[in-house]
Structure 1
Amino acid sequence: MLSFFKLIRYHNLLMLAFMQLLFRYAFLKWQDVPLSLADWQYLLLVLSTVLIAAGGYVINDIFDQDTDSENKPNRMIVGNKISEAAAYNIYVALNITGVGIGFYLSNVIQKPGFATIFILIAAMLYLYATSLKQTLLIGNVIVALLLSFSVVIIGIYDLYPATYEGNQKQMAVLFSILLDYAIFAFMINFIREIVKDLEDVNGDYNQGMNTLPIVLGVQRTSRVVFVLSFIPLLVLLYYTNEYFASSNLYLTMLYTLLCVVGPLLYFTIKSWSAKSQKDFHHLSSVLKFVLLFGIISIAVVAYNIKNHA
């Protein structure tokens, strides 16, 4: 059972579920707008997203057996603790259940065509594991996009169907906030994917992968990461000044500076001198915390707005 949870990266899935629950119950529920899904239906949306993401992790491990045997031989699951055949069965079960829930929810909001979203996500995760991962930067972009889309899908299923002429402006503002967080998640996760490539460069090279560290070299790629980290850093500083400081949301501003900008600045500084696998693993963990604290900020924003008003 423990091997199964490790296979589906349960800690990442918990973070994904936490993020989606936080956006609804610590933000959208605090707004004076109708929501399309009942609570139990929204939990099904979260479950569907988690199941399809879990399927992505499983298929990735199935096709990464040779690379993982070099990069992390002590943490291999498929081919070691779980057979390849069993892993395929798990993958199929996760995707059928996840996509099936997606079909049901699409009919609930009377948009049956939206079910193709779940099919496309599952298909992209499969293509990533089987071929796109080996294409320079394309794999990194795909993974980052899929994570950010798990924020956008909240607006598609919970806000869009409940939008009408009378609340269109308010719904557009809420959707734009979700979009801002999705863009933030994309930027952080895209950089993190490159850092993970730096961490796995030896095994990837031996398996004929075509990642950025293999093309440019470890040192040059770490410099690229250093430069890229300034983009979310500057965006966050601009966003904090433009929306939080100007609206006197000082609690949100303080939280963002200490818990999001601070760790991101630490990452930027450390990325300049990072060289070893241990260094890159540490940087990857820092970005995971940046993403987590960034997500939690939505609850701080909602609380601050309510009390400020």
Structure 2
Amino acid sequence: MKYLKLIRYQNLLMLASMQLIFRYGFLELQNIPLALAHWQYGLLVLATMSIAAGGYIINNIFDVETDTENKPNNVIVGKFISETKAHNLYIGFTVIGVAIGFYLSNVIDKPSFASLFIVIAATLYFYATNLKQSLLIGNIIVAMLLSFSVIIIGIFDLYPVANQENRSVMGLLFSILLDYAIFAFIINFIREIVKDLQDVEGDSNQGMNTLPISFGIKKTSKLVFGLSLIPIILILNYISTNLFAYELIYGTLFGIIFILAPLLYFTTKIWSATQTKDFHHLSTVLKWILFFGILSIVVISLNIKFNA
């Protein structure tokens, strides 16, 4: 169980679920060819999970002191697993992820795409060792990496089989993936700031430079309130123009109940939140918003299919 906690298996399962949902709850429902066979797509998911697991491990290695103050019960490295073993696991997971990425890049006849996996792995390493302490840069990087796990589906499964005849359809499907990637970026970026609010005391003692440390908890909470209005406006517009306008009732109801309503709840609560437990709760709310946001692609796809 300690090894599962080290790689943050819940987050990895959510990452895998997200990629499987997009493949089998969206792309497979379209009448289009896909570049990867089922088992090859499974390897793409495995590569993503492996590199992410390596990122979590290296992050845990360099976060021991901070976590000892913020989350003493969650400290694994040095307590249950030696730092040397953790480093070896980091190298193992990262090598597996990059190697699979190299293989898949050659499968689709785009060997240069292997560099994407190398860049992601390197970015996770530099995030854990240097960038995490920089104001906002760490938050942006984590949010971008999650959104890229959506975009990479289009890069490996759609782009290689795009041609002159299906270019418009493939472009539309890729743009939908991009919409969800932007949604994932915004929600995860806000969540990273909320997590900084939750960990402000320990981060301050470790000399880190996060928004709550620089501007204070109250000002940062108000800033998060303002940021949370962005996805609310975007989702309202998306539901109005892409779902309600085309009488996709189930997609509309799902978006309102499971995405928009929780976002409104988050917005009202973050304005007055001051305690660690409040920020922990709101971080969990954002995690569920992200999950249901990704799941909405299945509801919308089925709604379109049965309305046709």
Bucket of the pairwise TM-score, normalised by the shorter protein: over 0.9
State the match for 1:233 in structure 2: 232
Deviation at 1:74, TM superposition (A): 1.4
State the match for 1:30 in structure 2: 29
State the match for 2:113 in structure 1: 114
Q: Match of 1:273, SS?
A: coil
State the match for 2:262 in structure 1: 263
Counterpart check, 1:41 vs 2:34: no
Q: Match of 2:77, SS?
A: coil
State the match for 1:184 in structure 2: 183
* TM-score normalised to structure 2 length: 1.00
Deviation at 1:250, TM superposition (A): 1.1
State the match for 1:70 in structure 2: 69
State the match for 2:55 in structure 1: 56
Q: How does 1:149-228 map to 2 (within 5 A)?
A: 149-228=148-227
**Equivalent-residue separation in structure 1 for 2:228 and 2:174 (angstroms):** 26
* TM-score normalised to structure 1 length: 0.99
Deviation at 1:75, TM superposition (A): 1.3
Q: Match of 1:166, SS?
A: coil
**Equivalent-residue separation in structure 2 for 1:128 and 1:134 (angstroms):** 8
Task: Name the aligned partner's letter for residue 184 of structure 1.
Answer: F
Q: How does 1:140-151 map to 2 (within 5 A)?
A: 140-151=139-150
Identity of paired residues, percent?
Answer: 62
**Equivalent-residue separation in structure 2 for 1:116 and 1:98 (angstroms):** 12
Q: Match of 1:164, SS?
A: coil
Q: Match of 1:246, SS?
A: helix
Q: Match of 1:77, SS?
A: coil
State the match for 1:131 in structure 2: 130
Deviation at 1:31, TM superposition (A): 0.4
**Equivalent-residue separation in structure 1 for 2:152 and 2:235 (angstroms):** 23
Task: Name the aligned partner's letter for residue 36 of structure 1.
Answer: A
**Equivalent-residue separation in structure 1 for 2:82 and 2:236 (angstroms):** 48
Q: Match of 2:236, SS?
A: helix
Task: Name the aligned partner's letter for residue 252 of structure 1.
Answer: G
Counterpart check, 1:288 vs 2:295: no
Deviation at 1:218, TM superposition (A): 0.6
**Equivalent-residue separation in structure 2 for 1:231 and 1:79 (angstroms):** 41
**Equivalent-residue separation in structure 2 for 1:228 and 1:67 (angstroms):** 27
**Equivalent-residue separation in structure 1 for 2:274 and 2:153 (angstroms):** 39
4+ aligned runs moved over 2 Å, structure 1 = none
Q: Match of 2:158, SS?
A: helix
- Spell out, residue by residue over 1:76-115, the C-alpha distance to the aligned partner (whole angstroms, 9 max, x if none): 0111111111100000000000000000000000000000
State the match for 2:271 in structure 1: 272
**Equivalent-residue separation in structure 2 for 1:25 and 1:123 (angstroms):** 30
- Spell out, residue by residue over 1:249-268, the C-alpha distance to the aligned partner (whole angstroms, 9 max, x if none): 11100100000001111000
Task: Name the aligned partner's letter for residue 63 of structure 1.
Answer: F
**Equivalent-residue separation in structure 2 for 1:218 and 1:78 (angstroms):** 29
**Equivalent-residue separation in structure 2 for 1:140 and 1:132 (angstroms):** 9
How many positions carry a matched residue from both structures?
308
**Equivalent-residue separation in structure 1 for 2:61 and 2:304 (angstroms):** 46
**Equivalent-residue separation in structure 1 for 2:261 and 2:99 (angstroms):** 42
**Equivalent-residue separation in structure 2 for 1:81 and 1:165 (angstroms):** 56
Q: Match of 1:183, SS?
A: helix
Deviation at 1:117, TM superposition (A): 0.1
Structure 2 unaligned runs (5+)? none
Q: How does 1:93-112 map to 2 (within 5 A)?
A: 93-112=92-111
**Equivalent-residue separation in structure 1 for 2:246 and 2:32 (angstroms):** 22
State the match for 1:21 in structure 2: 20
**Equivalent-residue separation in structure 2 for 1:181 and 1:231 (angstroms):** 14
Task: Name the aligned partner's letter for residue 163 of structure 2.
Answer: Y
**Equivalent-residue separation in structure 1 for 2:43 and 2:268 (angstroms):** 41
Deviation at 1:292, TM superposition (A): 0.4
Q: Match of 2:81, SS?
A: coil
**Equivalent-residue separation in structure 2 for 1:242 and 1:232 (angstroms):** 15
Deviation at 1:73, TM superposition (A): 0.9
- Spell out, residue by residue over 1:23-55, the C-alpha distance to the aligned partner (whole angstroms, 9 max, x if none): 000110010110000000000000000000010
